[in-house]
Amino acid sequence: MDLSTIILYAVALVLLVVSVIKDKEKTKKAVKKGWMAFINIVPVLVPLFLVVGIVLSVLTPQTIEQVLGQDTGIFGVIIGMLVGSIAFMPPFVTYPLGAELLDNGAGYPQVAAFMTTLMAVGLVYWVAETKYFGRKAVVLRNSLAFIASGVVALVVWGVMV
């Protein structure tokens, strides 16, 4: 478990204890609310993680290296953004992959395009996010993330190439 998870547990625990001391009944209700919020998300989580598993098994770091490896230029940036929007990867896989892509000859802008969309554009989250905020909000948020990634790639291009 990493540090932020431990901090999260510690903070939640302290708040829980304070809550119990102040008002037992209210705490019971709060725990029940949290539990229901969790139950509510489970039906979207199961298919979500099935899709994530499928994406992870097909779009492996090796596949991505083949696609993004040597590619330079604006074309590489666009491919990077598209692959990043579809793919899903946990951060601890993402960054070493980025470093490896750089070692294999991909440029910083292409890697930036891929990695920022990978984290911010979540096509795998589509259904879950729609359930919480409605379709238009989801389209807009993902568009913003996509545009931001494009700009980041261009800025990186300007500064680092």
List the interface residues with another protein, window 94-113 (CB under 8 A): 95-96, 98-99, 102, 108, 111-112
Instruction: Give the one residue of 13, 70, 73, 74 binding another protein; rule: CB under 8 A.
Output: 13
Give the interface size with another protein as a residue count (CB under 8 A): 86
Q: How far is the CB of 145 from another protein (least distance, A)?
A: 7
> Does 17 sit near another protein (CB under 8 A)?
no
**Positive or negative CA dihedral for 24, 36, 126, 73?**
positive
Answer whether 160's CB lies under 8 Å from 113's CB.
no
d(Cα 95, Cα 51) in Å, to the nearest integer? 22
> Does 48 sit near another protein (CB under 8 A)?
yes
A 10 A CB-CB count for 109 gives: 24
CA of residue 88 relative to chain centroid, distance = 7
In Å, how far are 55, 107, 151 from 99, measured between CA atoms?
Answer: 21, 11, 21
Q: How far is the CB of 70 from another protein (least distance, A)?
A: 18
Q: How far is the CB of 27 from another protein (least distance, A)?
A: 8
d(Cα 133, Cα 140) in Å, to the nearest integer? 11
Binding mask 121-150 toward another protein (x if CB under 8 A, else -) reads -x--x-xxx--xxx-xx--xx--xx-xx--
> Does 71 sit near another protein (CB under 8 A)?
no
Cα dihedral value 75, 120, 131, 8, nearest 10: 160
Q: How far is the CB of 3 from another protein (least distance, A)?
A: 6
Q: Which of residues 51-70 bind another protein (CB under 8 A)?
A: 51-54, 56-63
Of 41-49, 67-75, 78-86, the window that binds another protein (rule: CB under 8 A) is: 41-49
Instruction: Give the one residue of 67, 82, 120, 123 binding another protein; rule: CB under 8 A.
Output: 120
3 state SS of 28: helix
